[in-house]
Each structure stands twice: as structure tokens, then as C-alpha cells.
Structure 1
Amino acid sequence: MDETIIWKYFGEGEISGFTLVIPSVAVGNVGQLACDLLISSFNMVKLASIYDTALIPILGYDPYDLNSSKLSTCCEVYKCIQRNLIVLQFRAPLVYKYAQRFLNEVVKKFKEKNVKEVVILTSSFAHVNKHISSSPFRFVANELYSYKNKIISLKWIEHELHDTGLQIYGGGFASLLYQICTEQLLPCLVLYKYCSEGNNIPDAYEMIHYLANLLPLFSEKTDLKSQLLEPVSWKLLFGRPPPSDIY
């Protein structure tokens, strides 16, 4: 079996010095929803589609443009030149047996392209949170991550590490990806929120607000919420309404 990732590029691939944001497919899909908000709000341009045996083959309409005739796949890369930002969006879980090999190759590829850092957005089961009176957000950053001093000033709560390494229950491949980034000497931050399944759109908004305190992505002159644009695909997030003729 060919285990080489296929990258189909749609535009200029220069991303040196960019911040790479990757969502982990996790409980409530908070990371993916947050990335949807980033892609839609910044009108990010599709840079590439990725094909691999680790990816479940999914095909659909463009989730950010109703008038587009282009299709979207399971794993795509989006780029915003103005903010030196790229987002690697996932729309399905990874196939477990191929996940580590796939993530290793992806991190290696982006490191070769000299990305500045990796930010992993994910979530964890709400019932695992032992300190419910504190913020529902937690972070983990490796020693290479350049914003650690700012994180300290923001008084973010650090995830409690165990002897067995980083464990985020319900967090998908976030722990594995963090380990791979650290092994490949790439600055990396994991940001996650304790949540439950349901309507997790408010969680995504909260995550973007939290992230905006750290990274200079949005203008400070106007309200952050007014700068966020929900993708059109969210209108059908829970399916179509029930047909009126059943009443």
C-alpha cells in the first residue's frame, strides 16, 4: 500500500513564519468549529487538499460559500496572508492505525516549510473537570513555544501532566500531535475546553475569544464578536427543520 500523502495545491504555498492552527476531532467538535470561524471570518483561501489512507474519504459542498461550484474534502489547508495564519481543517476522524504515520508526515512537511509554531485546538469531557469553579479552558505548551510568558501574564490554567505523558480525555489525536511536534522540535501549544456534546457553537466562540487574548489575530479597535462571521454550513449543523406537512 502506498503510504505517501498526496498534497493537491490550489495556490502559492509560501508559509514561512506562519502560525499553523490544527483542530483535533474531539468531543463536541469544538476545535473544528473554532477553525470554521477563523476560516470564514478571515475569508481564508484554500491552499491545498490532502489525501491519504489515514483520512476517511468525505466529499461535500464548499462550507463557506453557497455560490461556489467547488467541492470540499476531509482534510484541507487554508491560508490568510494578512495574518500569517494557516489552518489545517479536518472534517472527519483519522483512521487510528494510520494516524501516527500521517501526523508525523504532516508535521515534517510543515516544518520543512518553516512554519513558526503549531496551535492545537481541542476539547475534553466536561465530567473530567475536577475544578468546576475555575475556567473551563486548559493549555499545554512545550519549552519552544514563544508565548509562554504572555500565557503566564494571562493567568491561564495549565493542564496537569501525568507520568504517562499528556492525556486529554475525549481530545482525539491532540496528545499524539503535541508529542510529535515536540519530538520534531516545533513550538507547540494545545488549548482545550471542557465541554459536553450538543450545540457547541458557543464553545467555539469562547475558544476564539480565548485564543484572541494570546495571538494578535483581530483588531482591538472593534468588538471581537462583530469581527466573527459564521460559515453558511452552520445553518444546517443539526440537519433540516422537520417538514411542515407532518403537523
Structure 2
Amino acid sequence: MLQLKVRNSLNLEGYTIIIPSICVGNAAQLACDLLIASKKMRRVGNLMHPALIPIFGPSAYQHDPQERVAACEIYECTANKLIVFQFRTPLISRHSQSLHNYIVELVRPAEKVVILSASFGFEKREIGTSPYEYCVSNSFRENHKTQLANVKWMEFKGNTVFGGGNGLQLYRLLEEKQVPVMLLFRYVLEGDNSTDATLIIRELNDLCSTFLQLEIEDKSIKLIVPVSWKLLFGNDVTSLIF
């Protein structure tokens, strides 16, 4: 169920939707954190569904300190017609298909959907090639063929993105419904994946700068680190235990 804060419906016509897969290292979710913080996006609602483990906590972003986090949040930038989903819990597998179907119906009016994900680094088979792979629907390829021709990413031809969570499943459902959709993932290792998140956003901006509209300083993207990243690995170890 979609819960909105300030309106009765969510009009996604002409919008770009970015959805993170719940993947290895949480790299896609961290990338969405960076995007939300850097563009100071406004939370417009959240999803409630049996597939989502309910949570409630303090704000994740310094630009909106009065907000509280939930299992699935929706952020908007009206100026760029950009919507970002953010997941903060893993999915309950027996309900995940139902959630995917709901999300697909929700975002069908959008102009395009970008799913971000990651895969285990040791699954990369071709050394020396780009650490990114992607797959696109025919309609997305047609709309962005010039940009896609200039990227160095490899096109994914497999059947499974190992460590990629629910990204490929959601991509196939959207493709089936003829929604322009792209799945972009990076090969990563477990650990501190904040750097991977930064690199994912930079790569995506190279393709989609027209709707990301990230501020550029000295030919580099200006990204704002969310306040929630201060405790990515929990509190510091207290000296009292030594």
C-alpha cells in the first residue's frame, strides 16, 4: 500500500524512477542514499507491504532532520522529474513477487525506470573489462541509443546476477510490461561499499546527466555524504572493554 504525505495520488507521467536492488554490500542502496542527499530530495511517501520488514528510525539525511526512516521510502525532485525509491530492509521472500507486481503497476506511467544493483566481484569472468554490466529493454535502448553507444559497460547476457538480489527479477517484469527500463550493476566485494556507491552514481550520471542534474565542481560531481553514513558499521568500540 502506498502512503503519501501531501497528496492523494502519485503522478509519475514523464518521470524517471530509480530503484535500488537489495544486493551485495548494499551498494545500490548506498548509491541511492548519495543521490537523495546530494539533490536534497523530499520524501513524499512510503510503501507498506507484507514483503517489507517494518522499521522506524531517525532521519538518514541532514537536509531533512525531522523525517523518520521506514522500510521503503519514496523521494522526489520535482524540478528534474526524478523519483528515487529507497529500501532499508531485506525482503521476505514468499511475498517478494507480490511486491514486485505492485511496484511494476505503480511505476508503469513513468518515462523510464533505472534499477541499480551489484554482483559479487569474484563472479566477474573477463579481466580488464569494465566493472559495470547492464541490460536494457528495447524501448530504453531506442530512447538512449546515443548515450549507450558511448559507455564502456558490458551488456549482460546471463540469466543470474549473483549477489544482485531482486534487481533482475524486477527488470524482467518491467520489460514484460513494456516499461522502458535499464538494469545497471557493478562488481563489488563485501565490506565498506561507500566508494562503490559513489562510482555507481558517477557512471549513471555519465549516461543520464540530463535528469540527474548533479552539481559539477572542477569537472567532478559534487556529492553529499548522508549523515547516516557516520555509523555504517555501528558505534565505535568502547575503550572500557580493554
TM-score of the two chains, using structure 2 as the length reference: 0.92
The SS at the match of 1:186 is coil
CA contact (8 A) 1:66 1:232 kept: no
Deviations 1:93-119 (A, max 9, x none): 1111111111111111121xx211110
2:189 maps to which of 191, 196, 210: 196
Moved more, 59-68 or 236-245: 59-68
In 2, Cα distance between equivalents of 1:100 and 1:204: 26
Equivalent in the alignment of 1:136: 131
In 2, Cα distance between equivalents of 1:30 and 1:223: 26
TM-score of the two chains, using structure 1 as the length reference: 0.90
Equivalent in the alignment of 2:173: 180
Equivalent in the alignment of 1:243: 238
CA contact (8 A) 1:21 1:119 kept: yes
CA contact (8 A) 1:57 1:74 kept: yes
CA contact (8 A) 2:121 2:188 kept: yes
CA contact (8 A) 2:56 2:68 kept: yes
Equivalent in the alignment of 2:56: 59
**Quick check: 1:124 aligned with 2:119?**
yes
CA contact (8 A) 1:218 1:224 kept: no
Moved more, 137-146 or 150-159: 150-159
Equivalent in the alignment of 1:50: 47
CA contact (8 A) 2:131 2:186 kept: yes
Equivalent in the alignment of 2:86: 89
CA contact (8 A) 2:202 2:221 kept: no
2:229 maps to which of 221, 226, 234: 234
CA contact (8 A) 1:22 1:118 kept: yes
Deviation at 1:191, TM superposition (A): 0.4
Please report the RMSD computed on the Cα atoms of aligned residues, expressed in angstroms: 1.7
Gaps of 5+ in 1: 1-5
Deviation at 1:222, TM superposition (A): 2.6
Deviation at 1:92, TM superposition (A): 1.2
Deviation at 1:81, TM superposition (A): 1.1
Aligned residues: 236
Letter matched to residue 149 of structure 1: T
Gaps of 5+ in 2: none
CA contact (8 A) 1:141 1:148 kept: no
Equivalent in the alignment of 1:3: none
- Distance change >3 Å, CA 194–CA 68, structure 1 → 2: same
- Distance change >3 Å, CA 35–CA 219, structure 1 → 2: closer
